């Protein structure tokens, strides 16, 4: 856990009721920490889906977390932050799609909601540290805190924590950084929590359990979606190809569901929210040599070194491409890639890696 255990502070652990945070609780206790558990109820079917027929209350995760806390004889708190989550994360998610961008809600949620709430309650409960079940490592060099890839490459979550501040990182513990997912499950079985070890994984977007963001937007903003229906689908030269269902229902790189036949594969290459257009092109039209980011955060260094080279990941599952990163005059960063990258998507994050370490990241604007 990269922590001096000679003086083990009281730690507030985020308990989701899943296998990751549950094993983290055991590991922290075994390391001698005084653990206090907290479960953040950030959304529910009832509240998020406004009583729709498909909405069924699902509080299994709360019951699971409370049961484990009882088993370990640790203090546990349930905190309802659904209103704040709705106003901060879900509202931003919807607004971004209607602005023609593709958001990553986890990137915003972690520093503002999840860790924001954890640190607020850590102060109230007298906890010096906070811990989560994220798969990543925490490092400190030259007085700077930053995250690094976890041992399990397939589960590594370093990409979504690039916005974390130095003040936040300095008080974090990530007990699972040195473990692979199967090792965590094996620990769960050894700790006697077999049912948790075998439970299903959580969703990529927690408040859209079906994975269908289009239906979610339709449910949240039916009138706005209907107003955009019938806009133009065209090619890069402006040639009319058809009508779309509303540009928020499309994303850069999309090939399926376009309902346009041109005799060969064609892809969404750009969204024009101002003109209510979806622009299509060939596969090569998706390639970009350069991108720009704003709202960036640098963690490993006090300031980004001049003409810095890094591996840049432009989406969560992206392996990354080497690029030269330079400062622009308008408080943005420019990434010039060694080889072109495909489907640069405004709203997503570009995260910079120096080896395994996250140097920082920013939100892609173009």
Strands, E assignment, the chain: 10-14, 34-41, 75-80, 129-131, 136-141, 144-149, 172-173, 232-235, 240-243, 267-272, 277-281, 287-298, 308-313, 321-327, 333-342, 349-354, 357-364
- H or E element: which one contains 240? strand 240-243
Structural tokens at position 318: 């992206």
Q: How far is residue 316 CA from its own chain's centroid?
A: 8
Contact 169, 299 (CB under 8 A): yes
User: Rounded to an integer, what distance in angstroms lies between the CA atom of residue 25 and that of residue 28?
Assistant: 5
Closest alpha carbon to 222 in 232, 214, 233:
214
Structural tokens at position 279: 């622009």
Q: Choosing from 109, 172, 221, 335, which is the catalytic residue?
A: 109
Closest alpha carbon to 100 in 244, 285, 315:
244
335 has catalytic annotation: no
- H or E element: which one contains 226? helix 222-228
Closest alpha carbon to 350 in 341, 30, 21:
341
User: Rounded to an integer, what distance in angstroms lies between the CA atom of residue 287 and that of residue 147?
Assistant: 29
Structural tokens at position 266: 């064609």
Q: Choosing from 106, 127, 172, 206, which is the catalytic residue?
A: 206
Structural tokens at position 164: 């974390």
User: Rounded to an integer, what distance in angstroms lies between the CA atom of residue 129 and that of residue 117?
Assistant: 13
109 has catalytic annotation: yes
What is the total residue count of the chain?
366
Residue with tokens 């549950």: 22
Residues labelled catalytic: 109, 206
């Amino acid at each position: 856990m990269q922590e001096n255990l000679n003086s083990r502070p009281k730690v507030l652990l985020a308990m989701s009721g899943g296998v990751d945070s549950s094993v983290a609780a055991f590991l922290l206790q075994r390391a001698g920490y005084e653990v206090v558990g907290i479960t953040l109820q950030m959304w529910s079917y009832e509240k998020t889906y406004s009583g729709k027929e498909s909405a069924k209350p699902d509080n299994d995760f709360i019951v699971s977390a409370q049961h484990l806390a009882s088993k370990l004889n640790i203090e546990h708190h349930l905190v309802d932050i659904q209103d704040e989550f709705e106003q901060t994360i879900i509202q931003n998610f919807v607004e971004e799609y209607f602005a023609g961008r593709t958001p990553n809600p986890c990137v915003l949620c972690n520093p503002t909601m999840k860790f924001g709430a954890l640190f607020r309650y850590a102060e109230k409960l007298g906890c010096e540290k906070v811990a989560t079940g994220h798969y990543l490592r925490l490092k400190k060099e030259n007085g700077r805190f930053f995250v690094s890839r976890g041992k399990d490459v397939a589960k590594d979550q370093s990409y979504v924590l690039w916005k974390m501040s130095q003040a936040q990182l300095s008080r974090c513990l990530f007990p699972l950084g040195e473990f692979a997912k199967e090792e965590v499950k094996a620990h769960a079985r050894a700790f006697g929590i077999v049912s948790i070890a075998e439970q299903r994984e959580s969703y990529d977007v927690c408040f859209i359990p079906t994975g269908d963001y289009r239906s979610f937007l339709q449910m949240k903003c039916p009138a706005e979606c209907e107003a955009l229906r019938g806009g133009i689908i065209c090619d890069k030269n402006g040639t009319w190809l058809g009508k779309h269902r509303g540009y928020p229902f499309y994303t850069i790189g999309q090939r399926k569901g376009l309902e346009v036949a041109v005799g060969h594969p064609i892809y969404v290459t750009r969204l024009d929210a101002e003109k209510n257009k979806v622009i299509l092109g060939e596969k090569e039209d998706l390639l970009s040599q350069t991108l720009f980011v704003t709202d960036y955060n640098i963690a490993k260094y006090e300031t980004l070194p001049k003409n810095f080279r890094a591996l840049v990941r432009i989406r969560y599952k992206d392996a990354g491409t080497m690029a030269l990163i330079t400062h622009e005059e308008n408080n943005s960063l420019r990434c010039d890639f060694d080889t072109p990258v495909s489907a640069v998507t405004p709203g997503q994050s570009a995260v910079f890696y120096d080896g395994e370490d996250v140097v920082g990241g920013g939100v892609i604007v173009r």
